[in-house]
Structure 1
């Protein structure tokens, strides 16, 4: 069943949804930073020198999060997984056929 929204309703929906998406992204960034700090601290407490290398750095943590979210979205459906990866590659203007 298709919903017919007025332009005003569409504007309100977009405003509300994207405001929540912005807050979600802020929380995710905070969680990544907290995770990095906590992992770094625990590694140091266990005698691992973190001066030159951080195994729980922000980039690694964000990629891990992205992988987990993509897996949740496609749920094992490789057609959906391929579509997701293709859409993201197009968004970034990169080739996945190299």
Structure 2
């Protein structure tokens, strides 16, 4: 049975969760930057040079992480996956058509 919370308790909980989400995002962003730098140092040590951007750039690493976390959360439940994608699209103002 779920505990009923007052409006002020709900506001507090929402604020604290947002705070901790922000901390996680900050830490993960730092780890991604560190991974990009390590990959580029590795590539450079092997004599690789890239005309445009490194294959292990921060954007690519971020998308790879998002894919892995998405799979982890929906765990093969396609209805959950569809719901998650729909919710993310709506937050960005994108309309999705899912068959």
- Fold agreement, TM-score > 0.5: yes
Task: List alignment gaps of at least 5 residues for structure 1.
Answer: none
Moved over 2 A (4+): 50-53
1:87 maps to what in 2? 87
- Per-residue CA distance 1:40-93 (angstroms, 9 max, x = gap): 110111111135331011111111111011001100111111111111111111
Aligned length: 98
1:34 maps to what in 2? 34
RMSD: 1.6
Whole-Å separation in 2 of the counterparts to 1:55 and 1:86: 29
Task: List alignment gaps of at least 5 residues for structure 2.
Answer: none
Task: After superposing the two structures, state which structure 1 stretch, 6-15 or 38-47, moved more.
Answer: 6-15
